[in-house]
Structure 1
């Protein structure tokens, strides 16, 4: 039959069970977590792709020095067995150390031909997408974006930039710096902002891996800079007190001086799970962290803010400010500010982009603000 290049097919054998017992978002998160780690374990000579339905494909990248003889040597059974054992051992050690969702996965790993890998991908897509053509296209595009995000994490192309929450009366007084993510694309200066990839991750229910990664980065920065205070965005999907956060909870418990300088911002783009968000925030409060409701007045933020117990900070969405400015009155804007003040000790107005907006916020008696007029996101911490 002749020589054929082979690829690695990794299947979560209990994917249907995880979906049935824990829900599709959880099962998708298992797949995304495996995608991130397998890519890191295999290294730059391989590309790892999600095939959907709990399946991943690992394909060797062609190189100029990759002759047919070398390729055939790589496909020797003994060499392949060593490679598979290395991947499985790396996954096992990582799952044990990180307590991630993928530790619940039962894996089946096989070497297959490229044709068989394509058939597995087609079968997963056919089984997974029984919705309208638009929904099928959207889901496939979302998976591609999710794969790119976790590849960027593995290649250290995800950067943090910082934008301060400032005092509207004294612009040099800073409450904390919010950590914002950017993904570098290629060798140039092009970057992707959260609005270009967060919606896809939330539709797939795989935000928790990214949130946990950014949280670790922020904690490391707080350990390095003992005079810094940082805010980290956490999707409503991620606000669950469970094993996903075990290592982070332990780290914060060991370093109370870090926890006291960390603000957890619950974002508005996804609804929190009933009761889970309250428990998550209570746990973070116990550790010494501050809790903020982000983008209050838009999306699910109002609902999330009312569900969570005693947030320390409420950040009013920029759209509320814009509507107030257009109306020229404080009525609707003041109502939102009043509701926020009833719920939290500190109120922040987001999206201040002009002197007019800054003065409008000051006139409403709001002490804290955030926006490009005073400070755009920068790569260095301002403390």
Structure 2
């Protein structure tokens, strides 16, 4: 026979008449639910209640109570012990104690899930009376006396099964509710925390700051907001990859949390930017001490991809109530202070000061003006010649960018190029310069080249070779006439990617020059990494030729060019003496005011070329 699920139900018989208890035992002991197999038949346990045999639908354990109060104590004890009753048969009349209705009411106060059958004679309370006392419920049935054995068995079977089903449903409901609570907690955590670091996110940070500022209004205790930016994060992310960048962010998050502890909240505000609320400063400590501790923790050595690295940080701090009394104002002022810290060379912390917002406003105005300059085509190119040492031949012209503002006049590049690089506008500006320089060069003699400066930002999208190839095709300029000038900073920022793009440019036939040579930290090492076509010595060495150390560098650069078989250009030549000294050392090109100042494109032909030959005297 197939086995069904076995329940061991406790059944309470509540009646003041002992013979009634015997009657119940006889009823349940003599009526099998189905015929057992002969080998399983037990004459002492025909229903299989005691053995829990296969084929039975329930196992009943009977307990007797002769008065209502006794029943109440039994149910209370059973519930406390985790072995509750499933069903109770309760007599309506049980003198001298409480009657059946009162007993049932007390039992349900202890165990609302208890299934109850009220045993009553026809002369006792009606169903309407029971409803008035107990209310409408699905846990109550009435059994009229004298009762039928089959009716009692059916009630017991049905109600114990109902109790078991309700209990299982209750457990499942509890499990579902627990699951919902867990998932809700997970969703709330995901909504309020950063997935990478586990720190608070921007939403939770703003909520905490609003609460801290409300407390500040009552207690007058200061609340500091710090915005932290990692200075070298982009370099690490670009050179080692995003997994290493993520590792760094996690390490810094742990260090910041360790410093702040329970005295505030650390949040990841986005990318490599963190935000801190310091709202519980212990006595004897100041905000500056936390700032120093934070900077020291950030700058500690960290191992990424098996190699040691150190990063610095820039911090902007605003303190309530002096620097603001609401969240948005305080965060804005901290951000302004951070901008000042970055502008002063990074690796420093700055508190917000009145007037900083004016400087930021001015900075934003310049950015808007620069964007307008791109749209209104306010840029123009000036050209300065690069000539042979004997001043008889112009090899090429360097394209120099100028901004012709309608109100401010001609704006020099050192005033707007840093801003263009910071805002990434240099990418579109640089493409315009490249295209216009190639167009202008097409109007010059066929053997005259053009040199264009390219910013490191233009390498970041990896499409510079594609852009150059497109411009050369569009303008028809021979690739060998185009020279791209870069500084060492290009290779520092995007070393592997930049070198790959430079090789692609050389494969097109474009020449590559390393500008400001001699001022960087790794110039010589880059000569081994990439075969440059030209070295342009920084003008600072020419200006200090009377110093022995500067002259030694001039001589070294000239000899280096000879050894490597590449051109060398001396920039900043303004006097005859400077010219003679660099020529004696062996420089192959000269550039500077001594021969010619930068002039607009429209004047190049008339100034430096006639119908027969080039000018051979300084302008």
* TM-score (normalizing by structure 2): 0.38
Q: How big is each residue's C-alpha offset from its partner over 1:49-87, in whole Å with a ceiling of 9 and x where there is no partner?
A: xxxx9xxxxxxxxxxxxxxxxxxxxxxxxxxxxxxxxxx
Cross-structure match for 1:297 = 518
Cross-structure match for 1:162 = 383
Cross-structure match for 1:311 = 532
Contact 1:293 1:301 in 2 (8 A): no
Cross-structure match for 1:214 = 433
Cross-structure match for 2:466 = 246
Q: Secondary structure at the match of 1:184?
A: strand
- Distance in 2, matches of 1:341 and 1:293, equals 15
Contact 2:426 2:458 in 1 (8 A): yes
Contact 2:439 2:475 in 1 (8 A): no
Q: Secondary structure at the match of 1:263?
A: strand
**Displacement of 1:130:** 5.9
Structure 2: gaps (5+ residues): 1-201, 203-232, 236-269, 271-327, 344-355, 610-619
**Displacement of 1:242:** 2.3
Structure of greater Rg: 2
Cross-structure match for 2:503 = 282
**Displacement of 1:187:** 5.6
Cross-structure match for 1:355 = 576
Residue 404 of structure 2 is aligned to residue 184 of structure 1: yes
Cross-structure match for 1:10 = none
- Distance in 1, matches of 2:574 and 2:529, equals 29
Cross-structure match for 1:131 = 338
Contact 1:219 1:258 in 2 (8 A): no
Contact 2:386 2:590 in 1 (8 A): yes
Alignment of 1:105-120 (within 5 A): none
**Displacement of 1:279:** 1.2
Contact 1:313 1:344 in 2 (8 A): no
Q: Secondary structure at the match of 1:182?
A: strand
Structure 1: gaps (5+ residues): 1-15, 17-21, 25-52, 54-120
- Distance in 1, matches of 2:434 and 2:465, equals 10
- Distance in 1, matches of 2:476 and 2:374, equals 27
Contact 1:231 1:263 in 2 (8 A): yes
Alignment of 1:1-383 (within 5 A): 129=336, 131=338, 133-135=340-342, 142-169=363-390, 171-186=391-406, 190-225=409-444, 227=446, 228-240=448-460, 242-243=462-463, 246-252=466-472, 257-268=477-488, 271-299=492-520, 302=523, 305-306=526-527, 309-327=530-548, 330-343=551-564, 345-379=566-600, 380-381=603-604, 382=608
Greater mean deviation of Cα atoms: 174-183 or 137-146: 137-146
In 2 relative to 1, CA 245–378 (structure 1 residues): closer, same or farther, beyond 3 Å?
same
- Distance in 1, matches of 2:507 and 2:377, equals 32
**Displacement of 1:241:** 6.8
RMSD: 3.8
**Displacement of 1:373:** 1.0
* TM-score (normalizing by structure 1): 0.60
Q: Secondary structure at the match of 2:399?
A: strand
In 2 relative to 1, CA 245–312 (structure 1 residues): closer, same or farther, beyond 3 Å?
closer
- Distance in 1, matches of 2:360 and 2:557, equals 35
Greater mean deviation of Cα atoms: 360-369 or 194-203: 194-203
Q: How big is each residue's C-alpha offset from its partner over 1:26-57, in whole Å with a ceiling of 9 and x where there is no partner?
A: xxxxxxxxxxxxxxxxxxxxxxxxxxx9xxxx
Cross-structure match for 1:7 = none
Contact 1:142 1:201 in 2 (8 A): no
